[in-house]
Amino acid sequence: MTTQTYYVPTQSRWPILASIALFLMAFGAGNTINGLNAEQGGGIGVMLLLAGALAMGLILIGWFGNVIRESHEGLYSSQMDRSFRWGMSWFIFSEVMFFAAFFGTLFYIRTLAVPWLGGEGEKGVANMLWPGFTAEWPLMAPPDSETFPGPKGIIDPWHLPLINTILLISSSVTVTIAHKALKQGKRSAIVLWLAATILLGAGFLVFQAYEYVEAYHELGLTLHAGVYGATFFILTGFHGLHVTLGTLMLIIIWLRVMKGHFSAEKHFGFEAVSWYWHFVDVVWVGLFLFVYIL
C-alpha cells in the first residue's frame, strides 16, 4: 500500500457552485412551502427552488464528468478506488439510518403510542384525552376524526405491493447478472440486463404512483388521514424517491456502458449504483413486511 500515486485534485469550482445551488434549493423550498400556507403564491420561492435544482443537476453532471475524465486519464490508483468504496458504503449506511428513523417511528406508534391512547398499557391514562377511542392498527379512526378523518380502506398487500415486490427483487437479480456480464466483458449482455433492471424499476414507480392515486381517490388514505397515513406515506414516499434516484443512476450507468465506459477490472461507478439498488430493494422488503403485510 503506497500513497505515492494517490491523486489529490487541484483546485475545483464545483463544490462552491454546488453549495450555492444547495442554498438556492433550500431557501427556495422554504419560501415555497411557507407560501403554500400563506396562500399568496410563493412565486419567487418556486423560481429559486427550480433554479437551484437545475443548477445542481448541471453541477453534478460537470463534477461527475470531471471524475470520469480523471479516471480515464488513469489518475486513480487502486487506493483511490478504496476511498470511493469506503465513501459509498458509509453513505449507504447513512441512508439506512435515515430509514431507521422512520421505521422506529412506525414501531413506536404501533406498539406504544396508539395502544396508550386506547387505554392499554402503563400509560393508558392517555385515553382520558379522547375517551372512547379504541386502539387498532391500521388506525382507521384517529382520536380526533374531524381534523384527521381516517382512511376508508388500506392498500391490499397481495395485489400491487406484491407485484412491486416481485419487480424489485427481480431487478436486484438482473443488475447482478449485468455485473457478472461486465466482469466477463460481455458488453451486449450488460446493456440488455441493465435495460431490464431500469424497466423493472420504472415499472415499480408506475405501479407505486398508481397505488398513491388509488389511496388518495378511492381509499381516503391521505397525509391527513391520521398517523397511519403519515407513516405509510413517509416510508413509501421516501423509498419511492430513492427508487427514482436509483433508476436515474442506472440510466446514467447504462448510457456510460453504451459509450464504452467501464472495464472488467475497473468499474466502481457501476458497482456503487448496484449497491445502492440492492439497498433500496432491501428497504422495500422491510416496507412490504412492516407497512403492508403486518
Partner 1 sequence: MSTLEQTAAAGELTEHHHGPASGIGRWLFTTNHKDIGTLYLWFSFIMFLTGGCMALMIRAELFQPGLQLIEPAFFNQMTTMHGLIMVFGAVMPAFVGLANWMVPMMVGAPDMALPRMNNWSFWILPFAFAMMISTLFMDGGAPNFGWTFYAPLSTTYAPPSVTFFIFAVHMMGISSIMGAINIIATILNLRAPGMTMMKLPLFVWTWLITAFLLIAVMPVLAGVVTMMLMDIHFGTSFFNAAGGGDPVLFQHVFWFFGHPEVYIMILPAFGIVSEIIPTFARKKLFGYASMVYATASIAFLSFIVWAHHMFTVGMPLVGEVFFMFSTMLIAVPTGVKVFNWIATMFRGSMTFETPMLFSLAFVVLFTIGGFSGLMLAIAPVDFQYHDTYFVVAHFHYVLVPGAIFAIMAATYYWIPKWTGRYYNETMGKVHFWLSFIGVNITFFPMHFIGLAGMPRRIPDYALQFADFNAVASVGAFIFGFSQLIFLYNVISCIRSGKKASSEVWEGSHGLEWTLPSPAPYHSFTEPPVVK
Q: Hey, which residues between 233 and 272 contact partner 1 (CB under 8 A)?
A: 233-234
Distance CA 202, CA 214 (A): 18
Cell 376524526, residue?
145
Q: Are 79 and 6 in contact (CB under 8 A)?
A: yes
CB-CB contact of 226 with 139 (8 Å) = yes
Phi, psi angle pair for 184, to nearest 5°: -95, 0
Q: Return the number of the residue (83 or 263) whose C-beta is nearest partner 1.
A: 83
Binding-site string for partner 1 from residue 20 to residue 59, where x marks contact by CB under 8 A and - marks none: x-xx--xx-xx--xx-xx----------------------
Q: What is the 3-state secondary structure (H, E, C) of 231-256?
A: HHHHHHHHHHHHHHHHHHHHHHHHHH
Contact 245, 279 (CB under 8 A): no
Interacting positions 104-123 with partner 1 (CB under 8 A): 104-105, 108-109, 112-114, 116-117, 121-123
**Does residue number 91 form part of the binding site for partner 1 (CB under 8 A)?**
yes
Longest dimension (CA), the chain: 72
Closest CB to partner 1 among residues 18, 169: 18
**Euclidean distance between CA atoms 213 and 23, whole angstroms:** 32
Q: Does 90 bind partner 1 (CB under 8 A)?
A: yes
Q: For residue 239, what is its C-alpha cell?
A: 423509498
DSSP helix/strand/coil, 185: coil
SS3 per residue for 86-104: HHHHHHHHHHHHHHHHHHH
Pick one of 39, 40, 97, 188: the residue that binds partner 1 (CB under 8 A).
97
Q: Which of 53, 66, 220, 266 binds partner 1 (CB under 8 A)?
A: 66
- 159 is a contact residue toward partner 1 (CB under 8 A): no
Note whether 154 binds partner 1 by CB under 8 A: no
CB-based contact 262:269 (threshold 8 Å): yes
8-state DSSP, 73: T
Of these, 46, 50, 60, 79, which contacts partner 1 (CB under 8 A)? 79
CB of 193 to partner 1, least distance (A): 30
Segment lying near partner 1 (by CB under 8 A), choices 144-152, 190-198, 269-277, 285-293 = 144-152
- For residue 290, state whether it binds partner 1 (rule: CB under 8 A): no
Site for partner 1 in 180-239 (CB under 8 A): 222-224, 226-231, 233-234
Cβ atoms 278, 242 nearer than 8 A: no
**Residue placing its CB nearer to partner 1 in the complex, 66 or 170:** 66
Which amino acid is present at 223?
L
Residue with smaller CB distance to partner 1, 174 or 222: 222
Q: Which of 48, 52, 139, 165 binds partner 1 (CB under 8 A)?
A: 139
CB of 52 to partner 1, least distance (A): 11
Name the minimum Å distance from CB 198 to partner 1: 27
Question: Looking at beta carbons only, is 45 or 201 nearer to partner 1?
Answer: 45
Are the C-beta atoms of 236 and 259 separated by less than 8 Å?
Answer: no
Q: Taking contact as CB under 8 A, which single stretch among the options 100-108, 177-185, 208-216, 270-278 is the one that binds partner 1?
A: 100-108
